[in-house]
Chains A and B, each alone.
Chain A
Amino acid sequence: MEFITDILLLSDSTLRISAPLILAALAGLCAERAGIVDIGLEGKMLAAAFGAASAAAVTGSPWIGLFAGILVSVMLALLHGYVSIHQRGNQIVSGMAINIMVAGLAPTLANAWFSLGGQTPLLDNGARFTAIDLPFAEALEDVPVVGALYSDLLSGHSLMTYLAFAMVPVIAWILYKTRFGLRLRAVGENPEAVDTAGISVTMLRYQAMVMAGVLCGMSGSALSTALGAGFIRDMSAGKGFLALAAMIFGRWKPVPTLLACLLFAFVDALQGRLQGVSFPLIGEIPVQFTIMLPYVITVVILAGFAGKMDAPRASGIPYEKDR
């Protein structure tokens, strides 16, 4: 029985941890599919977390927080877009610059506005996206299997978690079923062809950056106003890079990316659970080793199992019309 409880708890944890990862990975996916490498996910996430937490702290509304988080993230995405589309700058450098800039700027602004040493005030539940109980969750609680799955696992997450999972089919639909999506994918593979067809490469890439900005903004807001209750310096803790790895592992496709995010989140949840547990024969695994697990798995998967990577062909290459 304890085993089943453990599995349920781990799955529950996995869903929560994966939400910001999924949103950030989808953001990276939109950008790279249009031919722009977005290594600045981490920075945009942190900036959005800060924006959302400050706006929610001042206004007391998580919705205004979410809006502010998205706004900040879109601004940074457009900055990255300006450097990589208009100025044809190096996209890796621009992305890293955003990461470093936000890591310093967010705590500095937080200190200047709130004088709490680089944090924003702790948010009350009214200013956060708190757990939502799905309909009938209480009624079904005592039904075997279904009750456990529905009431314990699926119900009781925050709005941002549900939103993250809902975004996967939405993005897949946009990319594969709309004309805009077709053009967006084409601009990442062969921008010359798109240009020849009389469609603006610049415009399409900017649109992709706005999409990435919105998704990344949601991801950051989820960190500070749903999972956490306020901004703390460096609170993104490498999630942006993990999302990038998940996107590559998911081969720039929405559903495989979702699965990769779930895998990473599951390993993260598992490592917390394995700490201090004694195994037959091996004994207790040292904390240092369990904490290493998610990263070891990332390396093993990317090096061993991922196989041939079909990155969008024009990804990372600025488009020059007169070449």
Chain B
Amino acid sequence: MKYIVAKMVAVIAVCLVPAFSAVGQSFKPVLLYDIGGKFDKSFNEAAFRGAERFNKDTGISFRDFEPNSETQYEQALKRFARRKADIIVAVGVGYSVAVRNVAKRYPDIKFTVIDAVIDLPNVQSITFKENEGSFLVGMIAGMSTKTGKLGFIGGMDIPLIDRFKVGYKQGVAFVRDDVSFIENYVGTTPAAWNDPIKAAEMARSQYARGVDIIFSAAGPSGLGVINAAKDSNALAIGVDSNQNHVQSGYVLTSMLKRVDLAVEQAMNSAKDGTWAPGHRVMGLPEGGVDYALDEHNAPLISEAMKARLEDARAKIIAGEIIVDDVEGGNSGH
């Protein structure tokens, strides 16, 4: 009996060894997406594009994983940590608890987590000043509105999304002080990121009540807002990735959050050996956030608007304008 067990173990070991050692390349980066999927035209897609650029520049392929539920965060992290990945990049504030747990157990693996802050010697945390980017798109909305009513639709009601809202409202107030706001949140659970029907219904209601521009910080649910903008012949503002092309002519601009840049830099620095743990904040000065301008929204943004935006950008970078922030924007939930 003992002999059989030993034999089985040996056979299994023989089968497993090549699986672990047969990887040809020496540097193994891993990218873990948040719920919503790789091609969500938003947050995760930006992360994917960053990793793709790294792959193109260095020829090193990366492995990635799309979780279907929060319970898979920790499983995925452990699996790749056991396989001795050189760097694991996890995107999304939802990963905070999982990364903290796994990073403690695997102290020799490098982790980069985006949107969350974790204070461990082998974790690099990258967060964004979404409020600064939202300030700029808020200015655009304030300069473009004809009805004097603006809308905001957030995905899940968490402090991180509040940060978008606070910056947006401050940006609007910077150019006009007579604007009223209508705000909605799609929900209070992660399911709120995947409910375009509800988001669209909220957007329709806001448009019907006189709103002419809605900023949606709602992940894939935001596609519902953009679609409602088209149906109501009004404007929406995209988020995270450049969403101007989703419904060309109905998207005023997009608040870019350069997750792609963060992912690419994390992978590159891990490869060069310049990777360092700690907290990095990417705001306007670092090019971490911005507003999107391309052929799809060029007719909507005039030269005069651009001049005011560049002026405000310079003032924020110089510290003359301080954009308000929200407490606890990057803590886990």
In the assembled complex, B75 has its CB within 8 A of some CB on chain A: no
Query: Known contacts A235-B194, A275-B184, A276-B183; is A9 also within 8 Å of B39 by CB?
Result: no
In the assembled complex, B200 has its CB within 8 A of some CB on chain A: yes
In the assembled complex, B208 has its CB within 8 A of some CB on chain A: yes
In the assembled complex, B191 has its CB within 8 A of some CB on chain A: yes
In the assembled complex, B202 has its CB within 8 A of some CB on chain A: yes
By size class, the interface of chain A is 35 or more
- Neighbouring A residues of B220 by C-beta, 8 Å: 119, 232
Interface 9-mer from A87-95, A110-118, A242-250: A110-118
Q: In the complex the two chains form, what is the Cα distance from A153 to B66 in whole Å?
A: 42
Residues 153-194 of B, flagged 1 when their CB comes within 8 A of A and 0 if not, give: 000010000000000000000000000001111011001001
Residues 55-72 of B, flagged 1 when their CB comes within 8 A of A and 0 if not, give: 000000000001010000
Task: Tell whether, in the assembled complex, residue B44 and residue A237 are in contact, meaning their CB atoms are under 8 Å apart.
Answer: no
Task: Tell whether, in the assembled complex, residue B191 and residue A234 are in contact, meaning their CB atoms are under 8 Å apart.
Answer: yes
Task: Tell whether, in the assembled complex, residue A227 and residue B37 are in contact, meaning their CB atoms are under 8 Å apart.
Answer: no
In the assembled complex, A41 has its CB within 8 A of some CB on chain B: no
Query: Known contacts A9-B205, A118-B37, A269-B201; is A232 also within 8 Å of B184 by CB?
Result: no
Q: Which of A115, A269, A276, A291 has a CB less than 8 Å from the CB of B182?
A: A276
- Neighbouring A residues of B197 by C-beta, 8 Å: 223, 227-228, 235, 237
Interface 9-mer from B102-110, B223-231, B284-292: B223-231
Q: In the complex the two chains form, what is the Cα distance from A233 to B231 in whole Å?
A: 22
Query: Known contacts A122-B227, A229-B227; is A275 also within 8 Å of B185 by CB?
Result: yes
In the assembled complex, B249 has its CB within 8 A of some CB on chain A: no
- Neighbouring B residues of A273 by C-beta, 8 Å: 205
Q: From residue 65 to 113 of chain A, which have CB atoms closer than 8 A to chain B?
A: 104, 107, 111
Task: Tell whether, in the assembled complex, residue A233 and residue B157 are in contact, meaning their CB atoms are under 8 Å apart.
Answer: no
- Neighbouring B residues of A185 by C-beta, 8 Å: none
- Neighbouring A residues of B182 by C-beta, 8 Å: 276
Min CB distance A265 to B, Å, is: 10
- Nearest-neighbor residue (CB-CB) of A223 within chain B: B197
- Nearest-neighbor residue (CB-CB) of A111 within chain B: B37
Q: In the complex the two chains form, what is the Cα distance from A275 to B201 in whole Å?
A: 14
Task: Tell whether, in the assembled complex, residue B205 and residue A228 are in contact, meaning their CB atoms are under 8 Å apart.
Answer: no
- Neighbouring A residues of B271 by C-beta, 8 Å: none
Q: Which of A12, A17, A119, A227 has a CB less than 8 Å from the CB of B40?
A: A119
- Neighbouring A residues of B208 by C-beta, 8 Å: 9, 12
Q: In the complex the two chains form, what is the Cα distance from A275 to B223 in whole Å?
A: 21
- Nearest-neighbor residue (CB-CB) of A265 within chain B: B201
- Nearest-neighbor residue (CB-CB) of A114 within chain B: B39
Task: Tell whether, in the assembled complex, residue A237 and residue B185 are in contact, meaning their CB atoms are under 8 Å apart.
Answer: no
- Neighbouring B residues of A275 by C-beta, 8 Å: 183-185
Min CB distance A71 to B, Å, is: 22
Q: From residue 262 to 276 of chain A, which have CB atoms closer than 8 A to chain B?
A: 268-269, 272-273, 275-276
Q: In the complex the two chains form, what is the Cα distance from A16 to B191 in whole Å?
A: 21
- Neighbouring A residues of B201 by C-beta, 8 Å: 13, 16-17, 227, 269, 272
Query: Known contacts A229-B227, A269-B205; is A117 also within 8 Å of B38 by CB?
Result: yes
Number of A-B contacts (CB under 8 A): 91
Q: In the complex the two chains form, what is the Cα distance from A219 to B300 in whole Å?
A: 38
In the assembled complex, A288 has its CB within 8 A of some CB on chain B: yes
Q: Which of B185, B187, B196, B204 has a CB less than 8 Å from the CB of A228?
A: B196
Q: In the complex the two chains form, what is the Cα distance from A1 to B39 in whole Å?
A: 44
Most buried by B among A119, A131, A230: A119
In the assembled complex, A182 has its CB within 8 A of some CB on chain B: no
Q: Which of B183, B184, B187, B194 has a CB less than 8 Å from the CB of A233?
A: B194
- Neighbouring A residues of B247 by C-beta, 8 Å: 122
Q: Which of B188, B223, B230, B231 has a CB less than 8 Å from the CB of A232?
A: B223
Q: In the complex the two chains form, what is the Cα distance from A265 to B324 in whole Å?
A: 37
Task: Tell whether, in the assembled complex, residue B37 and residue A119 are in contact, meaning their CB atoms are under 8 Å apart.
Answer: yes
- Nearest-neighbor residue (CB-CB) of A236 within chain B: B197
Task: Tell whether, in the assembled complex, residue A9 and residue B188 are in contact, meaning their CB atoms are under 8 Å apart.
Answer: no
Min CB distance B22 to A, Å, is: 26
Task: Tell whether, in the assembled complex, residue B157 and residue A232 are in contact, meaning their CB atoms are under 8 Å apart.
Answer: no
Q: In the complex the two chains form, what is the Cα distance from A228 to B36 in whole Å?
A: 17
- Neighbouring B residues of A268 by C-beta, 8 Å: 198
Q: In the complex the two chains form, what is the Cα distance from A9 to B247 in whole Å?
A: 25
Q: Which of B188, B194, B231, B246 has a CB less than 8 Å from the CB of A291?
A: B188
Min CB distance B24 to A, Å, is: 25
Q: Which of B45, B157, B202, B224 has a CB less than 8 Å from the CB of A272?
A: B202
- Nearest-neighbor residue (CB-CB) of B48 within chain A: A117
In the assembled complex, B209 has its CB within 8 A of some CB on chain A: yes
In the assembled complex, A287 has its CB within 8 A of some CB on chain B: yes
- Nearest-neighbor residue (CB-CB) of B221 within chain A: A232
Task: Tell whether, in the assembled complex, residue A131 and residue B231 are in contact, meaning their CB atoms are under 8 Å apart.
Answer: yes
- Neighbouring B residues of A115 by C-beta, 8 Å: 39
Task: Tell whether, in the assembled complex, residue A287 and residue B194 are in contact, meaning their CB atoms are under 8 Å apart.
Answer: no
In the assembled complex, B264 has its CB within 8 A of some CB on chain A: no
- Nearest-neighbor residue (CB-CB) of B68 within chain A: A104
Q: In the complex the two chains form, what is the Cα distance from A229 to B40 in whole Å?
A: 14
- Neighbouring B residues of A117 by C-beta, 8 Å: 36-40, 44-45, 66
Min CB distance A22 to B, Å, is: 15
- Neighbouring B residues of A12 by C-beta, 8 Å: 208
In the assembled complex, B195 has its CB within 8 A of some CB on chain A: yes
Task: Tell whether, in the assembled complex, residue A288 and residue B188 are in contact, meaning their CB atoms are under 8 Å apart.
Answer: yes
Task: Tell whether, in the assembled complex, residue A13 and residue B205 are in contact, meaning their CB atoms are under 8 Å apart.
Answer: yes
Q: In the complex the two chains form, what is the Cα distance from A235 to B193 in whole Å?
A: 10
Min CB distance B44 to A, Å, is: 7
- Neighbouring A residues of B44 by C-beta, 8 Å: 117
Min CB distance B51 to A, Å, is: 14
Min CB distance B33 to A, Å, is: 8
- Neighbouring B residues of A237 by C-beta, 8 Å: 191, 194-195, 197-198
A selection of 11 A-B contacts at a CB cut-off of 8 Å is: A5-B209, A13-B205, A107-B37, A117-B38, A118-B39, A122-B246, A227-B201, A228-B197, A228-B224, A269-B201, A287-B185
The 9 tightest CB contacts between A and B, nearest first, are: A117-B37, A117-B39, A117-B38, A116-B39, A118-B37, A276-B183, A287-B185, A287-B157, A272-B202
